[in-house]
């Protein structure tokens, strides 16, 4: 199993990877559900602002994350919040979001460490297709690491 990217590394406009030890053994969908189970108010507000601004450019609203039951495992092609499930197994969840401006892929990978604990790596790759996509990624790229680190705290 290897990390998946939305395009070849040389064609990416944004790449971010972060990881954390997992408190107790879990599957990739359980990790996603744990990460998105407690969305801070500032992030919910940021999603509302994003949707408000993006609407003026005919970009679909994403509405942020919703809490969900990890026992209901999605299939490839299903929507998981604003992402499409591209691949899913106990150890990997690959999600995409694509529009005319950019393509985003999130690869969540669980790996067993030498000490027996699991480590979750979250890799986000983005390919921009036009000026709006690049402008969109200016603020998002600056805060993306903060968002992922905050969400990883929900599983640690």
Encoded tokens for 88: 């899913």
Encoded tokens for 99: 């529009």
pLDDT at 97 over 70: yes
Q: Residue 42: name the closest of 139, 150, 154, 136 by CA.
A: 150
Residue ranges per domain, the chain? 9-152
**Residue 4: CB atoms within 10 Å:** 17
Q: What is the mean pLDDT of the segment spanning 127-147?
A: 94
Q: What was the pLDDT predicted at 40?
A: 87
CATH number of 9-152: 3.30.530
What is the residue whose two structure tokens read 């691949």? 87
Helix (H) or strand (E) holding 53: helix 41-55
pTM score of the predicted model: 0.91
């Amino acid at each position: 199993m290897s990390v998946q990217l939305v395009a070849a590394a040389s064609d990416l406009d944004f790449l971010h990877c972060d990881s954390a030890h997992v408190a107790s053994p879990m599957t990739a969908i359980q990790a996603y559900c744990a990460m998105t189970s407690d969305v801070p108010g500032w992030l919910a507000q940021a999603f509302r602002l994003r949707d408000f601004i993006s609407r003026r450019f005919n970009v679909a609203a994403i509405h942020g994350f919703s809490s969900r039951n990890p026992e209901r495992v999605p299939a490839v092609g299903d929507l998981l919040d604003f992402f499409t499930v591209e691949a899913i197994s106990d150890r990997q969840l690959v999600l995409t979001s694509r529009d005319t401006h950019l393509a985003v892929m999130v690869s969540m990978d669980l790996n067993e460490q030498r000490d027996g604990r699991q480590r979750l790596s979250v890799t986000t790759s983005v390919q921009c297709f036009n000026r709006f996509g690049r402008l969109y990624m200016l603020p998002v790229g600056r805060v993306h690491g903060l968002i992922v680190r905050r969400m990883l705290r929900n599983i640690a």
